[in-house]
């Protein structure tokens, strides 16, 4: 099959799954910003996205996309290393500011994966998972849709704050290269469009990461007051 047997096909899979995950990040960022505007509104969103069929279906799709993205990332990295040493992506021209990110995408990806695991432990395992498991513990279920409680509990701990900020920094580097690289793979590979996509990637990645970081920092500051 072309999508798995050819190098170009594997890059297309990486690009499409990556873009889908970027769209989810955008949604998740917007959802998190609600917590800064209205705690009640954020909890309403959390309740709406509980263990309902549409939320569970979306979670399964996201999990599948993430797993495919990871598998193909390792696959391509190993293939490229065998063919060209440590160079990861065939790019005719690289800006100096994305050189480090492009050469360390696997390491950055691993940090992102570890950070995601931490995020799942702090939030998903305490919100959607108890509902899916049919938990009878009223104390646990009382907080299943209380997203604000979990945000305050997580970001009231300075160790968690530091870990999340490191995770977000790695995510920024991963996105700044991954976004425009995906667009190049999908056909926008002339010099004019690559320059534009690199600029868009940097702007988008910065906005997303800063918004996520804002929630972390604001709730940590609130915990000190």
pLDDT in tens, 155-170: 999 999 999 999 999 9
For the segment 10-21, what is each residue's pLDDT rounded down to a tens digit? 788 888 999 999
CB-count burial class (<10 Å; 0-12, 13-18, 19+) for 96: exposed
Extents of the domains making up the chain:
2-85+103-224
User: What does pTM read for this prediction?
Assistant: 0.85
What are the phi and psi torsion angles at 146 (to 5°)? -95, 75
For the segment 201-216, what is each residue's pLDDT rounded down to a tens digit? 999 999 999 999 999 9
Specify the fold of 2-85+103-224: 3 helical TM bundles of succinate and fumarate reductases (1.20.1300)
């Amino acid at each position: 099959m072309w999508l798995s047997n050819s190098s170009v096909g594997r890059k297309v899979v990486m690009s499409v799954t990556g873009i889908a995950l970027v769209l989810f990040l955008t949604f998740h960022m917007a959802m998190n910003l609600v917590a800064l505007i209205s705690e009640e509104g954020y909890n309403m969103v959390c309740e709406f996205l509980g263990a309902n069929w549409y939320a569970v279906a979306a979670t399964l799709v996201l999990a599948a996309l993430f797993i495919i993205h990871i598998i193909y990332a390792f696959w391509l990295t190993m293939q490229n290393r065998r063919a060209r040493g440590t160079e990861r992506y065939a790019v005719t021209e690289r800006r100096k500011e994305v050189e480090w990110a492009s050469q360390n995408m696997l390491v950055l990806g691993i940090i992102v994966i570890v950070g995601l695991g931490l995020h799942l432990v702090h939030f998903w395992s305490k919100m959607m998972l108890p509902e899916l498991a049919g938990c009878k513990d009223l104390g646990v279920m009382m907080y299943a849709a209380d997203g604000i409680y979990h945000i305050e509990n997580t970001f009231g701990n300075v160790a968690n704050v530091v870990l999340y900020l490191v995770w977000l920094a790695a995510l920024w580097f991963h996105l700044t290269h991954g976004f425009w690289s995906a667009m190049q793979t999908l056909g926008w590979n002339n010099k004019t469009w690559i320059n534009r996509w690199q600029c868009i990637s940097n702007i988008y990645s910065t906005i997303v990461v800063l918004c996520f970081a804002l929630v972390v920092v604001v709730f940590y500051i609130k915990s000190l007051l």
